[in-house]
């Protein structure tokens, strides 16, 4: 449940209250202004701690905890704020010392907030992500131009995104990786956009300290599909990837228009490995 909104609050006031609390380090107050099912979207290299997609107020609260250890404010300012309907756009300049590396970075930013019922339902940050990666000494990884990495909630996913046309997402099985679909992608990518993921703990995808379930992966992928505007798409799932595909299609049918299942089964799944 969302906490009660301030009486008479309007979107611009909610955003101002959030930013004032955030800038003085009152993260509990800031989080109280975030909707329970909020989506937080910060593009950039996952080696930069605040980047990625996050869903839910509790993850936004965890996101705020990243800043004291990573950034020391050295200035910065809000230049303009524009409100229209539910949306509030904040433009300004940032100036930070990056604590892990000792580097100083300055640049411009744009923040977009969407406020509903007195709480922030969606946030997206636009900034110089390459400069931030350099400030954190994130090593560039030579790779194929269509290879990507992104943090979704608590997991970093590696994936390929190639081709153009209707989107097809491929999900491999246990102990495989995204290269198992190489021939299918080669055949399809002239007429289809092919998104091929490494599942958590496989290939370029990480495993977090927290335990996870197949439902967690399905929820992560739903958030990724929604925020990348890939849906509705076709899902191809092999073995464990097929189980995730079924969960995703059942939970978010608005994001899926076709499912192809290979060597998989629909059965209750025990809690997954750490």
Are 221 and 244 spatial neighbours (Cβ–Cβ below 8 Å)?
Answer: yes
The pTM for the full model equals 0.83
Q: Where in the chain is the domain with CATH 3.10.450.50?
A: 11-135
Distances, alpha carbon 91 to alpha carbons 5, 108, 115, 123, 251, in Å: 25, 8, 17, 13, 36
Separation between Cα atoms, residue 131 and residue 114, nearest integer Å: 26
Give counts: helices (H), strands (E), the chain. 8, 12
User: 7-46: per-residue pLDDT in tens?
Assistant: 447 999 999 999 999 999 999 999 999 999 999 999 999 9
pLDDT tens-digit series, residues 199-221: 999 988 988 767 678 999 999 99
Rounded distance, CA 54 to CA 43, Å?
Answer: 11
For domain 11-135, give its CATH number from 3.10.450.50, 3.40.50.2300, 3.40.50.620, 1.10.10.10.
Answer: 3.10.450.50
Q: Tell which residue, 196, 216, 210, 203, has the closest CA to residue 174.
A: 203
> Which two structure tokens, joined as six digits, stand for 72?
């020391």
Which stretch of DSSP H or E encloses residue 210?
none
CATH for the 147-262 domain, from 3.20.10.10, 3.20.20.140, 3.90.1150.10, 3.40.50.1820 = 3.40.50.1820
What the block records as the tokens of 98 is 């990056």
Rounded to an integer, what is the distance from CA 113 to the centroid of its chain? 16
Q: Give CA–CA dist 272/195, Å, rounded.
A: 24
pLDDT in tens, 55-112: 999 999 999 999 999 999 998 889 999 999 999 999 999 999 999 999 999 999 999 9
CA torsion sign for 118, 123, 127, 129 is positive
The CATH 3.40.50.1820 domain(s) of the chain lie at 147-262
């Amino acid at each position: 449940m969302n906490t009660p909104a301030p009486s008479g609050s309007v979107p611009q006031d909610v955003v101002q209250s959030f930013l004032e609390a955030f800038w003085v380090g009152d993260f509990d107050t800031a989080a109280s202004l975030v909707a329970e099912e909020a989506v937080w979207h910060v593009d950039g290299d996952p080696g930069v701690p605040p980047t990625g997609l996050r869903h839910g107020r509790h993850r936004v609260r965890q996101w705020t905890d990243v800043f004291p250890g990573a950034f020391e404010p050295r200035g910065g300012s809000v230049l303009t704020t524009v409100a229209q309907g539910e949306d509030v756009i904040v433009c300004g300049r940032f100036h930070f010392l990056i604590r892990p590396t000792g580097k100083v970075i300055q640049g411009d930013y744009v923040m977009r907030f969407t406020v509903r019922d007195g709480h922030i339902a969606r946030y997206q940050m636009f900034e110089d992500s390459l400069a931030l990666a350099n400030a954190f000494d994130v090593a560039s990884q030579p790779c194929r131009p269509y290879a990507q990495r992104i943090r979704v909630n608590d997991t970093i996913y590696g994936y390929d995104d190639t081709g153009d046309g209707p989107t097809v997402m491929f999900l491999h099985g246990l102990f495989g990786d995204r290269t198992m679909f190489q021939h299918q992608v080669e055949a399809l990518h002239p007429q289809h956009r092919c998104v091929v993921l490494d599942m958590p703990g496989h290939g370029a995808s990480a495993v977090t300290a927290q335990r996870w379930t197949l439902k967690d992966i399905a929820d992560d992928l739903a958030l990724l599909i929604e925020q990348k505007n890939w849906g509705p798409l076709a899902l191809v799932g092999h073995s464990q990837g097929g189980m995730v595909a079924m969960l995703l299609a059942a939970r978010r049918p608005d994001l899926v228009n076709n499912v192809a299942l290979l060597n998989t089964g629909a059965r209750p799944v025990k809690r997954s490995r750490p």
